[in-house]
């Protein structure tokens, strides 16, 4: 019963996440940007734009210019999240890829770093009046959700270990539609429940910043309006009969 509930929840969550993100990406990709609006100085070539976007994704360049504290906490959180996600690949691969094995020890530190980064962001959200002013309940909840995921994960490592061999066979089974029993440890159930919730809200929430960044016209456009005429389809329609 428990296994069935969690198995179906994860199928649903994976479908919503993948389908939702694909849909959003399609929406963003097909909505025209009728005018050239890169925030200048901007790169004058496509390669330059690729570099600019990479710097935004990897280093959070603009955020660094804006505010060192948000940058520090935000970057630590995201970098840690990435390491944690990579570490989790061991539950989905058999045999485990070498590089995944290699990063296992870092994964644990990353868990703590993630909590620290999130706590820093949350503290600012509560303590800095400007940021408190712009926060809706959902902004606090999102941080709570992520901290909940991280803390329940760390608890399984340090406080209430679960049968990770069984967990792994549950996920391997999920992937080939051959269900294996999920251990009924409360902490594990909380952890997995929150992860599924995160996957489901992803395409409907501000987590869309991840795909959004790549489609942001102020960041992804080449600064060459004089050299190349840029015209959206709906704007082309206005040209009919023009001198």
Partner 1 sequence: MDRVKEAQEIEDDLPDPLEIPDLVPGCMAASKPYGAAPEFQKPLGFPGGLVENWQEKAIEKMAELRGKYRSFRVFLDSCVKCGACTDKCHYFLGTGDPKNMPVARQDLLRQVYRRHFTLAGKYLPWLVGARDLTEEVLDDWYSYFHQCSQCRRCSVFCPYGIDTAEISMAGREIMDSIGKGQKYSNEIIGKVLTIGNNLGLPKKALKATLEDLEEEVLEETGVPVRFPLDEKGAEILLVAPSADYFAEPHIAGLIGYAKVFHQAGVTWTISSHATEAANFGMFIGSYENMREISLRVRHAALDLGVKRIVFGECGHAWRAAYSFLNTLAGPFDFLDQRYPIPQHICEFTYDLIAAGKLTFDKSKNDHIRLTFHDSCNIARGSRLGNKPGGQFDIPRAILRATCNHFHDMPADTIKESTVCCGGGGGLLTDELIEIREKGAQPRMRALQHVAAEHGVTHMAAMCAICKAQFSKVLPMYGFDREAIVSVHQMVSNAIVLERTDGGAVGERDEE
Residues engaged in binding partner 1 (CB under 8 A): 24, 27-28, 31-37, 39-44, 56, 60, 62-63, 65-67, 70, 74, 121, 124-125, 128-131, 133-139, 141, 204-206, 208-209, 212-213, 215-219, 223, 225-226, 228-232, 234-235, 238, 242-243
Smallest distance from the beta carbon of 24 to ligand HEM, in angstroms?
A: 13
Binding of ligand HEM by 209 (CB under 6 A): yes
| Nearest residue (CB) to partner 1, 94 versus 218 | 218
Give whichever of 49 and 121 is closer to ligand HEM, judged by the CB atom. 121
Residue 77's binding partner out of ligand HEM, partner 1, none, with CB under 5 to 8 Å set by partner kind? ligand HEM
Give the whole-angstrom CA distance, residue 207 versus residue 22.
Answer: 14
78, interface contact from partner 1, ligand HEM, none, CB < 5-8 Å by kind: ligand HEM
**What is the DSSP secondary-structure string of 24-71?**
HHHHHHHS---S--PPSS--SSHHHHHHHHHHHHHH-HHHHHH-HHHH
Shortest approach of ligand HEM to residue 215 CB, angstroms?
12
**Angstrom distance (rounded) from CA 15 to CA 197:** 12
Min CB(109)–partner 1 separation in Å: 24
Residue 35 is a binding residue for ligand HEM (CB under 6 A): no
C-alpha count within 13 angstroms, C-beta hemisphere, residue 40: 7
Interaction of residue 10 with ligand HEM, rule CB under 6 A = no
Spatial neighbors of 169 by CB under 8 A, at least 6 apart, are: 180
Using CA atoms of 122, 123, 127, 131 in order, give the dihedral in degrees to the nearest 10.
-30
Helix-helix angle 98-127:137-158, to 10 degrees: 140
Structure tokens at 12: 């649903």
Binding residues for ligand HEM (CB under 6 A): 57, 60, 63, 70, 74, 77-78, 121, 139, 142-143, 146, 198, 207, 209-210, 213
């Amino acid at each position: 019963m428990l296994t069935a509930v969690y198995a179906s929840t994860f199928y649903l969550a994976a479908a919503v996440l993948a389908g939702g993100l694909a849909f959003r990406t399609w929406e963003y990709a097909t909505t025209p940007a009728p005018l050239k609006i890169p925030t200048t100085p901007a790169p004058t070539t496509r390669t330059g734009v690729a570099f600019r976007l990479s710097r935004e994704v990897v280093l959070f360049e603009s955020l660094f210019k804006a505010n060192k504290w948000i940058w520090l906490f935000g970057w630590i959180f995201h970098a840690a999240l990435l390491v944690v996600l990579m570490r989790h690949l061991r539950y989905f691969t058999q045999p485990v890829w070498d590089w995944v094995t290699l990063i296992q020890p870092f994964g644990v530190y990353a868990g703590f770093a993630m909590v620290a980064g999130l706590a820093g962001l949350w503290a600012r959200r509560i303590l800095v009046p400007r940021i408190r002013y712009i926060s809706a309940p959902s902004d606090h909840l999102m941080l709570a959700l992520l901290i909940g995921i991280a803390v329940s994960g760390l608890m399984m490592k340090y406080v209430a270990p679960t049968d990770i061999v069984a967990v792994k066979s549950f996920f391997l089974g999920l992937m080939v539609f051959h269900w294996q029993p999920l251990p009924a440890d409360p902490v594990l159930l909380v952890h997995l429940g929150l992860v599924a919730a995160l996957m489901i809200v992803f395409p409907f929430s501000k987590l869309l910043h991840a795909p959004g960044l790549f489609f942001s016209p102020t960041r992804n456009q080449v600064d060459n309006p004089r050299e190349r005429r840029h015209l959206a389809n709906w704007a082309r329609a206005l040209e009919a009969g023009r001198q």
